[in-house]
């Protein structure tokens, strides 16, 4: 076996960590959603001072069996910046939580709460289309939402009161903050205005704020009948039903807040033309009126990096759900000109930067995970790699298996992937956009289908709908006595599911095999001159690498009969079916790669005791050892910025799917001692994971 040198191994492990973090970005979104659904921000806020873990646990609406898990979800939320943590009196178990400024935006009763917006964006109805993104690229459906649900978002909301109410609540809460800024900083906009129509104004939060701040302005909220039919106006506020694509009521000023980004250029032009007619035919004023638009201006030079990412996320959210987009100034200008407007002025006053710094991005950061999955399913890394040199957008589009109607969307997908660091972009000759070319980063090379070190199978199983669905059930799981959220979602354990579903079983085995290739390059030097049993070794990729590198080592792959029954061994490699909870074949060394993190402490102790028996009865005078490849959380030898988040993600993935966990050294040590082992040594050789040698 060709070994990798230390420098290339380090680069490879860093690239691997980047891939892990992007795969698991969706966990940031889902844990935040769970915290809101359980009311964690409100509980801490109502407590009035920093709250200990025990106080928090006793105040939450959770099942007694789930009290032990609260600290794990709080760990990622502290890491994400929604809560802060301090130690009271320096004693054990005296760590207390309090809200950060970001956390305060999630309070239910706060007038500036972003809670409704987060719950809407992360509702299963709106997240399901992301699983259909690559399918949408291949067919002629207008949106991925239509692929997932067989109708448009607007049709769905019109027929589903729950989603309609969720949408209106989200828009209303957003309008509270926007209206405060508009009323305080943009008073000049309303000078000379006596009538205003809020087009697509929902339940009227924005128009109400304007009507109260400027009593001389008569405000009309104009929206679809199912939105406004039961709403009551006031002295200078009324509601009118209609369709903005057909006609808009006349007024001095028309307001479009977060409307145009929902629509294609063609539809935006129709809407703007209707608006132009409305301000031109207002008989009460000789002066021609104006249209006020509140929306994003993508690539605004006054914005920071975090704001740029938020804009890219929203652009793709619009693409997936409603066939809309976020536009830059050039695109806005063309839209206005095509609709018959000659003049416009942009005021950067609704500061999305503040939203971004207050962690709005975390609510939709799952988009990083899903766009990466889509890129892999479409074969984008492979297309660029096979091209042999940097690839223009037109070359890439022609090489992908997509429907002709979707060629215009590829650059938007690539934009977020370049921002994420999976592809780099450069301009050839500096002439036009079509001369921009894409090339692979080190991280993207780990997603190539035929690469021996490919993480593609791992990405596809971890982002498979079967594996991601349990995250929508996380708050439900906290409230009941089911062992895992996976069981809540599917009515069975993941092991039972894979045992009954060949597709998922094959995906799982491929994922474990692909991971074993990289690990085996590092591990072989630790395994010379012994009989080795790879417990839970799957299809044998790890053991095969060791057996080929060291022909004198007899290797046994030990796994469930359904996994190994049809596999063929070789001269020094064999497959044995069995159950590691009952007995493990005797050997000089027992290997446990990514096994123990799948199990509770009680189950781990049982497994380790069986391993101890196996190395004690190997027929040799010398007692053997157990080799564990797993994460050691909070390992001080790690680069905190690189690995901490990855380990926190994995810990929660284990909690949700299999009732397992990632352990720190203290937790590992207790586990070993309870299983009857007295000595262990940790080798930090595998990036976010470690190799642990364990002796009786």
State the pLDDT at residue 355: 46
Do 122-304+315-358 and 462-695 share a fold?
yes
- Partners of 425 in the beta sheet? 438
Could you say which DSSP state residue 2 is in? Answer: P
State the pLDDT at residue 3: 43
Cα-to-chain-centroid distance, residue 463: 9
SS3 state of residue 540: coil
For residue 56, what pLDDT band results from cuts at 50, 70 and 90?
Answer: very high
**C-alpha pair distances (Å), 682 with each of 321, 435, 660:** 48, 50, 20
Name residue, tokens 């007694």: 64
| All structural domains of the chain with their residue ranges | 122-304+315-358, 379-453, 462-695
The pTM (predicted TM-score) of the whole model is: 0.91
Could you say which DSSP state residue 285 is in? Answer: -
- Nearest CA to 53 out of 91, 25, 20, 23 is that of 91
Cβ-based neighbour number of residue 286 at 10 Å: 6
230/322: higher pLDDT: 322
Instruction: Decide: 462 and 653 in contact? Cβ < 8 Å.
Output: yes
SS3 state of residue 122: coil
State the pLDDT at residue 437: 95
Cβ-based neighbour number of residue 441 at 10 Å: 17
State the pLDDT at residue 641: 52
| Residues known to be catalytic | 261
pLDDT at 585 over 70: yes
State the pLDDT at residue 46: 97
DSSP of 427-488: ESTTS-GGGEEEEE-HHHHTT-TT-TT--HHHHHHHTSHHHHGGGGGHHHHHHS--S-HHHH
pLDDT at 299 over 80: no
**C-alpha pair distances (Å), 406 with each of 139, 142, 293, 390, 670:** 8, 9, 28, 22, 55
State the pLDDT at residue 357: 41
CATH of domain 122-304+315-358: 3.40.50.150
Mind listing the pLDDT tens digit for each residue in 253-286? Answer: 999 999 999 999 999 999 999 999 999 875 555 6
* Residue 172 tokens, joined: 């209303």
SS3 state of residue 112: coil
- Nearest CA to 604 out of 650, 680, 526, 535 is that of 535
State the pLDDT at residue 674: 97
191/370: higher pLDDT: 370
pLDDT at 304 over 70: no
Mind listing the pLDDT tens digit for each residue in 634-660? Answer: 765 545 555 788 999 999 999 999 999
* CATH code 1.10.10.10 for 462-695: no
Summarize the confidence of residues 337-364 as an average pLDDT.
Answer: 72
Rounded Cα distance between 110 and 312, Å, is: 27
For residue 619, what pLDDT band results from cuts at 50, 70 and 90?
Answer: low
**C-alpha pair distances (Å), 83 with each of 31, 35, 159, 185, 644:** 13, 11, 38, 31, 17
Q: Which fold has domain 379-453?
A: Arc Repressor Mutant, subunit A (1.10.10)
SS3 state of residue 304: coil
Summarize the confidence of residues 465-470 as an average pLDDT.
Answer: 97
Rounded Cα distance between 598 and 664, Å, is: 15
């Amino acid at each position: 076996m060709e070994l990798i040198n230390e420098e290339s191994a380090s680069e490879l492990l860093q690239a691997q960590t980047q891939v892990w973090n992007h795969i698991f970005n969706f966990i940031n979104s889902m844990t935040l959603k769970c915290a809101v659904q359980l009311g964690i921000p409100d509980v801490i806020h109502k407590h009035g001072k920093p709250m200990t873990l025990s106080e928090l646990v006793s105040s939450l609406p959770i099942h007694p069996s789930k009290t032990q898990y609260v600290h794990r979800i709080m760990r990622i939320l502290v890491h994400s910046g929604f809560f802060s943590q301090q130690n009271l009196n320096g004693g054990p178990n005296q760590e207390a939580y309090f809200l950060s400024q970001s956390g305060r935006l999630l309070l239910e009763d706060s007038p500036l709460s972003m809670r409704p917006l987060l719950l809407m964006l992360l509702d299963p109805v709106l997240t399901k289309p992301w699983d259909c993104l690559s399918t949408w690229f291949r067919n002629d459906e207008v949106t991925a939402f239509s692929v997932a649900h067989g109708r448009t978002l607007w049709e769905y909301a019109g027929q589903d009161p729950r989603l309609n109410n969720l949408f209106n609540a989200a828009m209303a809460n957003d309008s509270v903050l926007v209206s405060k800024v508009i009323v305080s900083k943009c008073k000049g906009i309303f000078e000379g205005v006596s009538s205003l129509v809020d087009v697509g104004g929902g339940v009227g939060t924005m128009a109400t704020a304007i009507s109260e701040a400027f009593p001389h302005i008569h405000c009309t909220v104009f929206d679809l009948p199912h939105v406004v039919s039961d709403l009551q106006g006031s002295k200078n506020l009324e509601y009118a039903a209609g369709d903005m694509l057909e006609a808009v009521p006349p007024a001095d000023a028309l307001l479009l807040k977060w409307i145009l980004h929902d629509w294609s250029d063609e539809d935006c032009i129709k809407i703007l033309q209707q608006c132009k007619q409305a301000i031109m035919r207002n008989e009460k004023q000789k002066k021609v009126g104006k249209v006020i638009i509140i929306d994003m201006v993508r690539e605004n030079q006054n914005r920071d990096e975090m704001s740029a990412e938020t804009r890219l996320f929203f652009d793709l959210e619009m693409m997936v759900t409603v066939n809309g987009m976020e536009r830059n100034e050039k695109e806005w200008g063309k839209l206005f000109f095509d609709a018959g407007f000659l003049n416009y002025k942009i005021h950067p006053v609704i500061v999305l930067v503040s939203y971004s710094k207050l962690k709005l991005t975390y609510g939709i950061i799952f988009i990083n995970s899903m766009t990466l999955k889509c890129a892999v399913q479409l074969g984008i890394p492979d297309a660029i790699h096979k091209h042999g040199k940097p690839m223009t957008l037109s070359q890439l589009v022609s090489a992908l298996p997509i429907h002709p109607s979707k060629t215009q969307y590829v650059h938007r997908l690539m934009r977020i992937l370049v921002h994420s660091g999976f592809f780099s972009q450069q301009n050839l000759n500096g002439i036009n956009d079509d001369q921009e070319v894409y090339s692979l980063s080190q991280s993207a090379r780990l997603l190539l289908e035929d690469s021996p070190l490919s993480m593609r199978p791992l990405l596809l199983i971890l982002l498979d709908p079967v594996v991601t669905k349990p995250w929508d059930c996380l708050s439900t799981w906290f409230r009941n006595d089911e062992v895992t959220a996976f069981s809540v979602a599917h009515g069975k354990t993941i092991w039972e599911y894979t045992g009954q579903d060949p597709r998922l079983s094959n995906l799982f085995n491929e994922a474990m095999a692909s991971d074993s290739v990289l690990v085996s390059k590092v591990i072989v030097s630790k395994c010379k001159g012994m009989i080795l049993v790879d417990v839970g070794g799957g299809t044998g990729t790890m053991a095969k690498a060791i057996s080929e590198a060291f022909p004198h080592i007899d290797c046994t792959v030990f796994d469930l009969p359904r996994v190994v029954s049809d596999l063929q061994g070789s001269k020094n490699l064999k497959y044995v079916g069995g159950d590691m909870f009952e007995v493990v074949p005797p050997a000089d060394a027992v290997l446990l790669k990514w096994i123990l993190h799948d199990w509770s402490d009680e189950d781990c102790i049982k497994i380790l005791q069986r391993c101890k028996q196996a190395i004690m009865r190997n027929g040799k005078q010398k007692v053997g050892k157990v080799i564990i490849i797993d994460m050691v959380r909070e390992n001080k030898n790690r680069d905190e910025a690189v690995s901490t988040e990855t380990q926190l993600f994995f810990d929660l993935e284990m909690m949700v799917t299999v009732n397992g966990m990632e352990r720190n050294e203290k937790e590992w040590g207790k586990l070993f001692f309870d299983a009857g082992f007295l000595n262990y040594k940790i080798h930090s050789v595998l990036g976010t994971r470690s190799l642990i040698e364990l002796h009786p």
